[in-house]
């Protein structure tokens, strides 16, 4: 075991790759990706050089929200395969040294989950209190003003039992009542089920939502709201998320996970960084290993803004808190569409050279873009609820582009979402053979990160740089690497970093400057990022 392996856990050294299973690879020709498909494509992930696969939900589900509406937490939906398929995938991934991280969706179930069917059956049902039922307000309307993340009131009226239930997302996704100890125990059993099977950890869905205000107080209006923002931002979520008591619950989940060897707990939390930090836990009550840091998804693509945000994030991390960075996921527009293909290369270099665990979204390694979805093929309910506002998530969930074969090699059937028009050139097979492709760049970045302890685990120091350039040094032991990223369309010149006599280019995003000597200054072409090994 190397010194790095001894001092850093796999989830610190490694790179996570998110697979959206519906869209990764379809092995049985029904047009929807499945577990056998993921298994068939492990070659790609091993060759690419990632360390862990996070699978978005594969549990039994009516698929109102792409599987984030779970009807059975301990089984696999037939569209994805069977538990035996899952076990086969787990064994095969482990044989290749790849970890498997499951998506755990504890905040809500499907309205078809047996727990909810029981809960809904009568106010006297023993499981009534497993969900959040409430009498109407005096005017007969919803109990308070909370809004669903997908638009509209978060309360759904149940005619038969004369009460409302709360759903932070779709009405088909009723929220569980995590204050109820039986709910906690039931969910802990779910975690044990998968941990005993050998999964390496969990990405926990909307973890900061688990506990709500006991008094169900109205949220205050958001004075900064404007129509471009998501519906939930009409109000400030003071009372329905990020409540103080959620921390004790998360700490309990963590202590369960800690009973198993070397597993990871990641949490999905969209909060300002100062709030995010509290989710690492406190002394004696650890919470998340990695509260997802989504800043790169949201910040304007500007060198000074991003540089400042990195510094601030680094400064706010609690002692022992390990950083992480996310550039794309199944809920946000693809990076190559947001900032363009040339800058997407620079972004890949940034993601894979920052201090902290990177998460790569499937397809971003080949430069996949958002795909326009004709109105009659829209799948996402967020889009169907609020059409045309740009909230829909289908564009970033389209089939992985494997080759120039029909349907990009994703399926022999009819794909559940349209395949990108550019698949004949933007695909794994074509890019594998191209020494200048986005895929080659990503593979080389991953290899460099693996080979250079400075990148995987070294310190981060920002280096002052002109306007459009973001520049920093990563340092570990005797290794020092300068990363200089031109986030703009004009050529730039970066001065020699303090303390370095000279250096040699290890990698350029243009893939054509290997080994070039750098002495006094470093010239960057438009949209170019460069990694220099300093001497």
What residues line the site for ligand NOJ (CB under 6 A)?
Answer: 65, 68, 105, 169, 205-206, 268, 330-331
Whichever of 111 and 527 has its CB closer to ligand NOJ, that residue is 111
Which residues on adjacent β-strands are paired with residue 203? 103, 266
Helix (H, G, I), strand (E, B) or coil at 457: helix
Q: Are strands 529-534 and 479-486 parallel, antiparallel or unpaired?
A: antiparallel
Tell me the C-alpha distance between 318 and 322, whole Å: 8
Tell me the C-alpha distance between 277 and 317, whole Å: 6
Q: Give the nearest distance from C-beta 451 to ligand NOJ in angstroms.
A: 33
Q: Give the nearest distance from C-beta 496 to ligand NOJ in angstroms.
A: 44
Q: Minimal CB distance to ligand NOJ: which residue?
A: 68
Show the tokens assigned to 351: 């993601």
Q: Give the nearest distance from C-beta 243 to ligand NOJ in angstroms.
A: 18
- Phi and psi, residue 267, nearest 5°: -125, 135
Q: Give the nearest distance from C-beta 68 to ligand NOJ in angstroms.
A: 3
- The reply to whether 268 belongs to the active site is yes
Place of tokens 């990764």: 24
Q: Give the nearest distance from C-beta 208 to ligand NOJ in angstroms.
A: 11
Q: Give the nearest distance from C-beta 169 to ligand NOJ in angstroms.
A: 4
Torsion sign across C-alpha atoms 350, 487, 18, 363: negative
- The reply to whether 205 belongs to the active site is yes
Whichever of 116 and 423 has its CB closer to ligand NOJ, that residue is 116
Torsion sign across C-alpha atoms 329, 330, 333, 336: positive
Q: Give the nearest distance from C-beta 92 to ligand NOJ in angstroms.
A: 26
Distance of CA 166 to the CA centre of its chain: 25
Q: Which of 205, 364, 380, 528 is catalytic?
A: 205
Query: Is the backbone of residue 198 left (phi > 0), alpha (psi -120 to 50) or beta?
Result: left
CA-atom Rg of the chain in angstroms:
23
Whichever of 76 and 206 has its CB closer to ligand NOJ, that residue is 206
CB neighbourhood size of 11 (10 A): 24
CB neighbourhood size of 232 (10 A): 23
Whichever of 298 and 520 has its CB closer to ligand NOJ, that residue is 298
Q: Give the nearest distance from C-beta 360 to ligand NOJ in angstroms.
A: 16
Tell me the C-alpha distance between 80 and 66, whole Å: 12
In 3D space, the residue among 471, 501, 469 whose CA is nearest the CA of residue 488 turns out to be 469
Helix (H, G, I), strand (E, B) or coil at 221: strand
Whichever of 42 and 389 has its CB closer to ligand NOJ, that residue is 389
Q: Which of 77, 268, 380, 396 is catalytic?
A: 268
Q: Which long-range contacts (CB under 8 A, 24 or more apart) does 89-97 make?
A: 89/35, 89/38, 89/39, 90/197, 90/198, 90/199, 92/39, 92/42, 93/42, 93/53, 94/198, 96/42, 96/46, 97/46, 97/51
Whichever of 168 and 264 has its CB closer to ligand NOJ, that residue is 168
Show the tokens assigned to 36: 């056998």
Q: Are strands 16-19 and 357-361 parallel, antiparallel or unpaired?
A: parallel
Whichever of 102 and 206 has its CB closer to ligand NOJ, that residue is 206
Show the tokens assigned to 353: 């050279």
Which residues on adjacent β-strands are paired with residue 469? 486
Q: Which residues are catalytic?
A: 205, 268
């Amino acid at each position: 075991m190397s010194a790095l392996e001894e001092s850093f856990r796999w989830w610190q050294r490694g790179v996570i790759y998110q697979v959206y299973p519906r869209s990764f690879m379809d092995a049985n020709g029904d047009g929807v990706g499945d577990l056998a498909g993921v298994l068939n494509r492990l070659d790609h992930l091993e060759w690419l050089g990632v360390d862990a696969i996070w699978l978005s939900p594969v549990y039994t589900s009516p698929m109102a929200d792409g599987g984030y509406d779970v009807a059975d937490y301990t089984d696999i939906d037939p569209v994805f395969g069977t538990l035996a398929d899952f076990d086969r995938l787990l064994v095969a991934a482990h044989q290749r040294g790849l970890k498997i991280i499951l998506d755990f969706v504890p905040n809500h179930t499907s309205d078809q989950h047996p727990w909810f069917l029981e809960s809904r059956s009568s106010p006297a049902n023993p499981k009534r209190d497993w969900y959040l039922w409430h009498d109407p307000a005096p005017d007969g309307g919803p109990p308070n003003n909370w809004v669903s993340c997908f638009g509209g009131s978060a309360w759904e009226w149940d005619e038969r039992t004369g009460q409302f239930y709360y759903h932070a997302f779709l009405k088909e996704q009723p929220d569980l009542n995590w204050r109820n100890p039986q709910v906690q125990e039931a969910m802990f059993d779910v975690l044990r089920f998968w941990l005993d099977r050998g999964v390496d950890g969990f990405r926990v869905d909307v973890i900061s939502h688990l506990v709500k205000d006991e008094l169900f107080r109205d949220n205050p209006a958001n004075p900064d709201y404007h129509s471009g923002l998501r519906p939930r931002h009409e109000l400030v979520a003071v009372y329905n998320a990020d409540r103080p008591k959620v921390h004790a619950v998360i700490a309990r989940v963590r202590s369960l996970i800690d009973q198993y060897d070397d597993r990871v707990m990641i949490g999905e939390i969209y909060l300002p960084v100062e709030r995010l930090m509290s989710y690492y836990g406190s002394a004696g009550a650890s919470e998340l290993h990695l509260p997802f840091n989504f800043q790169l998804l949201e910040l304007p693509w500007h060198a000074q803004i991003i540089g400042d945000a990195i510094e601030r994030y680094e400064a706010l991390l609690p002692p022992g808190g390990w950083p992480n960075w996310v550039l794309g996921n199944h809920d946000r527009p693809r990076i190559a569409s947001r900032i363009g293909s040339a800058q997407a290369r620079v972004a890949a270099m940034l993601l894979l050279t920052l201090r902290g665990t990177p998460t790569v979204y499937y397809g971003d390694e080949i430069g996949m873009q958002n795909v326009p979805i004709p109105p009659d093929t829209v799948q996402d309910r967020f889009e169907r609820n609020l059409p045309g506002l740009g909230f829909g998530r289908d564009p970033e969930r389209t089939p992985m582009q494997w080759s120039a074969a029909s349907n990009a090699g994703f399926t022999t059937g009819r794909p559940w979402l349209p395949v990108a028009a550019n698949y004949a050139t933007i695909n794994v097979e074509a890019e594998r053979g191209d020494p200048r492709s986005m895929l080659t760049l990503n593979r080389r970045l991953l290899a460099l990160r693996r080979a250079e302890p400075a990148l995987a685990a070294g310190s981060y120091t920002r280096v002052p740089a002109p306007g459009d350039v973001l520049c920093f040094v990563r340092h570990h032991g005797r290794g020092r690497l300068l990363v200089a990223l031109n986030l703009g369309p004009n050529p730039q010149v970066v001065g020699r970093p303090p303390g370095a006599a000279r250096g040699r280019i290890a990698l350029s995003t243009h893939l054509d400057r290997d080994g070039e000597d750098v002495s006094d200054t470093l010239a960057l072409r438009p949209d170019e990022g460069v990694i220099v090994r300093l001497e």
